[in-house]
Structure 1
Amino acid sequence: MPKLKSRKAAAKRFRATGTGKIVRRKAFKNHILEKKTTAKKRNLSKAVIVKDCDADNVRGMLPYL
């Protein structure tokens, strides 16, 4: 079997935990940060686990994750 290609855009956005779950960053932390509260910015910095309904799509884009 030939090697499968991974989607490079998805490879930059997702990573796997030790238990095999997929982790992503939150949106809205790139610019226009002056009007956002410190607590909101701190909460947006944390990584979250991808929901189960979306995890299958991510695994399809990243076959070796």
Structure 2
Amino acid sequence: MPKGPKNKTHSGAKKRFRVTGSGRIMRRQASRAHYNEHKPSKRTRRLKDEVVLAPSDVKAIKNLLT
């Protein structure tokens, strides 16, 4: 039986989110893109790592990534 058309991955979402092996969605933290020179080093170090996406946003982002 023929299947319908495939859905395309959202180009913007695939650049901004990644799915872990266990299925969680990770995102970058805001306020680290530019003007870092005048921000405290403590703050930029804290914002360095990826964090797990908020549960309320997971459904929408998974839809964009599949």
TM-score, normalisation: structure 2: 0.89
RMSD: 0.8
Moved more, 47-56 or 1-10: 1-10
Q: Which runs of 4+ in 1 moved over 3 A?
A: none
Q: Which amino acid aligns with 2:44?
A: K
Do structure 1's residue 12 and structure 2's residue 54 form an aligned pair? no
Q: Distance in 2 between matches of 1:30 and 1:13?
A: 13
2:31 aligned residue: 28
Aligned to 2:52: 49
- The count of residues paired between Structure 1 and Structure 2 equals 63
Q: Percent identity?
A: 37
Counterpart among 43, 59, 64 of residue 61 in structure 1: 64
Greater C-alpha Rg: 2
Consecutive unaligned residues of structure 2, counting only runs of 5 or more, are: none
